[in-house]
Structure 1
Amino acid sequence: MPGIKNNFDEYWRGLFDNQRQNNIDLLRAIAVISVFIHHAQSTFGGDFPFFGEYGGQFGPQLFFLISGYLISASCTRHPLTDYAIHRIFRIIPAYLLFFLGIGLFNGVISWDNISQAPWEFLANILLMQHLFPKALLHYDTLHVTWTLTVEVLWYASAPLLLWRRSLSTATVMGITLFSSAWAYAANQHVFDGFYPGVTDVNPGFSYLFLANHFFSQICFFAFGAWIFFHKDRLRKVNPFLLMMLAVLLFILRKYYFIYNPIFITGIGLGLLMLAGINSPAFRSKGVFIISEVSYSIYLCHFPVLLMVKNIWQISGYLGVAVSILLTLTLSVISYIFLEKPAINFGKHLTKSKFPLSSTSAQKNLDTHPGR
């Protein structure tokens, strides 16, 4: 099958071709590295500055901003059916690979389990597990999938929110007010009654399922979308000034962090994103590779960390190094043999009806569809 082999060769070479790299790649790499550091520290111990403690919040929120920016481009430039097909073939194949593969490997997914909890299994297949706590807890194989539910809900909301192909500042302020009200109320346990038998058993589940609900996170997507629609008139803002303001907000975090998540961290991340957009592209093959395979890294890194520590009994710096190597290996394999072919197949399904733009900007957006 020479055609398929040639495609795989092309995907492999493309992984090292960073001529199309931009600073969104850099931001995505920073996001996934911060999450990895946070989970590595929680698994192996240590005291890594900032990301060790806050990477589990910083990374997902930065991912949400990036998604807000890129999905705004995708859903406003493609017909709705094409947009949906692109999203499905972007996130579902790799997710199913790791969810089913790791679940079968560690015994969480079995015929007996599925027969006992079929609806919970279906919720996981459809990436709706964060809305149904028992579904996520019963099949928690990847330990990060709550963010995927949040992401999918953004995919569904974006065409409705952006139907006028614009996003006003007033709308973003309204979304932020609603999001903040939900997050604050959830932190005060106002909504705990929504999940009886869950939040009362473990108070931490109130934070996981209610404080981290899509309604709390939608402001981050809205910030990214607002930057996309207003980026042309924001081009002249000095990136160094933006970066300094972002750093200042992170330094002052302890003074405003009265509930979590809080929209102010999203403003800081928005300043960071805009600083990247307004700066010359930082080109690094290593950063580009991490960015390209970041989705698979995100999906598989936590189970890998736990396997290396608990099953292989490797600890310390060696355990972290082995985890990095194994995570990157699995992610590159997933990217070349599944992610990239699935993305291109989704484009092929839509190209016959609606030819995609061949402009460099459109190529870049199709190359970076969300995460």
Structure 2
Amino acid sequence: MHMKSNALHDNCFDVLRHLAALMVIFDHHHSLSGGVEPEFFGLTSLGSIAVYMFFSISGYLITQSFERRKSNIEYAKKRFFRIYPGLVICLIFTVYICCGMFGRLGFSDWATSLEPVKTFFKVLCITGYGTVYLSSHGMNYFTTDYIFKDTMNGSLWTLFFEILEYIMIALFLSVFRNKSLAIAIPLFLAIALLIYCNAVSVAHMKLISLGFLTIPFCMGALLYLNRDKWLSSRSMKLMMFIFPWIMFYLSSFSPLFSDALISMAVCLLTIVIGLTFKDPLIKGRFDFSYGIYIYAFPVQQIVINELGMGFYTSMLLSISITFVLAVISWFFIEKPAIEWSRRVIKRPESVIPADRTLD
């Protein structure tokens, strides 16, 4: 997400992403401590709102990236180098350091065995919930005796759906001439899927997750594709800010439509706020949000269960440790990988880069 034009920095998406990452930590800290996740006006968990925010911003910026690509290969490379380098190092930290130091086998015995290699590659394949619910043996029994048992990194499941959305954007925008229609089709299917799952009480988590994460992503994409119709209009922005609160209200009376209404409402608010206010601090210079998101869960597990601190003390310490890891990840892993990918792609200078450093 690095642009020569300052136009891409005339938003506060970076701030919103960091806020969403902190919301996930706050939400998870309750469940990892044995409590109940805080809710957003009694409608859904705060963590779900944060994930909707992430996917809304991704939908907007990834569509922008695809539209400005030089080729589909370039698009795929950018997406790969944004996700995998940071994830690889995070998995080494989690599988070898966390599982090795806080598991049952000693560190050297665990690190030199074949089991962490299997776990590493299983999670690296990003199979959704398969990255979360691993065998105790495969984690060296790390977290087996914790309050929130047998979960090494409960945040990584969303990466599977993030990658699916990247593929979906490329597929539909390449096939259909009408770009808005191209995104409206999966959006409609996702809404229909959620309504069906609510109507017949389907308990298939991957199916449900695909529905409620595709909605904000596609909404963000549609808002980007139609930005000329609303972005410069104050009255349209005001309507887009007010209407979500009506949707939140209506969702409490309509269980069949509640998930769809909430995710669409969050997307509208996220995008309109993100493009209405400016970011005086980050301005595309860094993005610690991904590192915060992927490192926080194992750090919280260890701090909560090994140190015996109070709720807020352990949360502040978890945030501090996670922030340090995220900063290291950004400056030494993620940013260099992004810069290296740009050299590999070798775009002509006359072509505007497809995205900033962080989409």
Q: TM-score, normalised by structure 2?
A: 0.78
Distance in 1 (alpha carbons) for counterparts of 2:323 and 2:256 = 36
In the alignment, which residue of structure 2 is the partner of 1:175?
186
Deviation at 1:255, TM superposition (A): 1.8
Deviation at 1:21, TM superposition (A): 6.0
> What 5-or-longer segments of structure 2 have no aligned partner?
1-7, 104-109, 140-150
Q: Is the 8 A contact 1:98 1:299 kept in 2?
A: yes
Deviation at 1:186, TM superposition (A): 4.2
Q: Tell me which amino acid in the other structure corresponds to 1:50.
A: F
What secondary structure does 1:162 align onto?
Answer: helix
Distance in 2 (alpha carbons) for counterparts of 1:172 and 1:242 = 19
Deviation at 1:345, TM superposition (A): 0.7
> Which residue of the other structure, out of 155, 163, 187, is the alignment partner of 1:152?
163
Deviation at 1:93, TM superposition (A): 0.9
Describe how 1:140-219 pairs up with structure 2 within 5 A.
140-163=151-174, 168-187=179-198, 206-212=203-209, 214-219=210-215
Count of residue correspondences: 326
In the alignment, which residue of structure 2 is the partner of 1:367?
357
> Which residue of the other structure, out of 77, 85, 88, is the alignment partner of 2:68?
77
Deviation at 1:217, TM superposition (A): 2.6
Name the CA shift for 1:166/1:300 in 2 (closer, same or farther; >3 Å): farther
Q: Is the 8 A contact 1:242 1:274 kept in 2?
A: no
Q: Which stretch of structure 1 is more off in the superposition, 220-229 or 97-106?
A: 97-106
Name the CA shift for 1:357/1:246 in 2 (closer, same or farther; >3 Å): farther
Deviation at 1:207, TM superposition (A): 5.0
Name the CA shift for 1:46/1:182 in 2 (closer, same or farther; >3 Å): closer
Deviation at 1:248, TM superposition (A): 3.2
In the alignment, which residue of structure 1 is the partner of 2:92?
100
In the alignment, which residue of structure 1 is the partner of 2:22?
33
Name the CA shift for 1:181/1:113 in 2 (closer, same or farther; >3 Å): farther
Question: Is 2:264 aligned against 1:271?
Answer: no
Question: Is 2:115 aligned against 1:113?
Answer: yes
Deviation at 1:176, TM superposition (A): 3.0
Q: Is the 8 A contact 1:22 1:282 kept in 2?
A: yes
Q: Which stretch of structure 1 is more off in the superposition, 145-154 or 158-167?
A: 158-167
Q: Tell me which amino acid in the other structure corresponds to 1:231.
A: R
Distance in 1 (alpha carbons) for counterparts of 2:332 and 2:312 = 30
> What 5-or-longer segments of structure 1 have no aligned partner?
1-18, 192-205
Q: Which stretch of structure 1 is more off in the superposition, 172-181 or 331-340?
A: 172-181
Q: Tell me which amino acid in the other structure corresponds to 1:125.
A: L
| Higher helix proportion (structure 1 or 2) | 1
Deviation at 1:308, TM superposition (A): 0.7
Q: Tell me which amino acid in the other structure corresponds to 2:240.
A: L
Distance in 2 (alpha carbons) for counterparts of 1:166 and 1:328 = 43
> Which residue of the other structure, out of 211, 220, 233, is the alignment partner of 2:216?
220
Distance in 2 (alpha carbons) for counterparts of 1:188 and 1:249 = 19
Distance in 2 (alpha carbons) for counterparts of 1:132 and 1:182 = 24
> Which residue of the other structure, out of 328, 332, 345, is the alignment partner of 1:333?
328
Q: Give the percent of matched residue pairs that are identical in Structure 1 and Structure 2.
A: 24
Name the CA shift for 1:248/1:280 in 2 (closer, same or farther; >3 Å): same
1:61-110 CA-to-partner distances (Å, cap 9, x unmatched) read 22111111111111221111111111111110111111221121232786
Name the CA shift for 1:71/1:313 in 2 (closer, same or farther; >3 Å): same
Deviation at 1:329, TM superposition (A): 0.9
In the alignment, which residue of structure 1 is the partner of 2:230?
234
Distance in 2 (alpha carbons) for counterparts of 1:98 and 1:208 = 25
Q: Tell me which amino acid in the other structure corresponds to 2:305.
A: N
Q: Which stretch of structure 1 is more off in the superposition, 67-76 or 46-55?
A: 46-55
Distance in 2 (alpha carbons) for counterparts of 1:101 and 1:133 = 16
Deviation at 1:182, TM superposition (A): 2.8
Name the CA shift for 1:84/1:249 in 2 (closer, same or farther; >3 Å): same
Q: Is the 8 A contact 1:129 1:136 kept in 2?
A: no
Question: Is 2:333 aligned against 1:344?
Answer: no
What secondary structure does 1:368 align onto?
Answer: coil
Q: Is the 8 A contact 2:180 2:225 kept in 1?
A: no
Q: Is the 8 A contact 2:60 2:217 kept in 1?
A: yes
Q: Is the 8 A contact 2:291 2:330 kept in 1?
A: yes
Name the CA shift for 1:145/1:167 in 2 (closer, same or farther; >3 Å): farther
Q: TM-score, normalised by structure 1?
A: 0.76
Q: Tell me which amino acid in the other structure corresponds to 1:101.
A: F
Q: Tell me which amino acid in the other structure corresponds to 1:355.
A: P
In the alignment, which residue of structure 2 is the partner of 1:126?
125
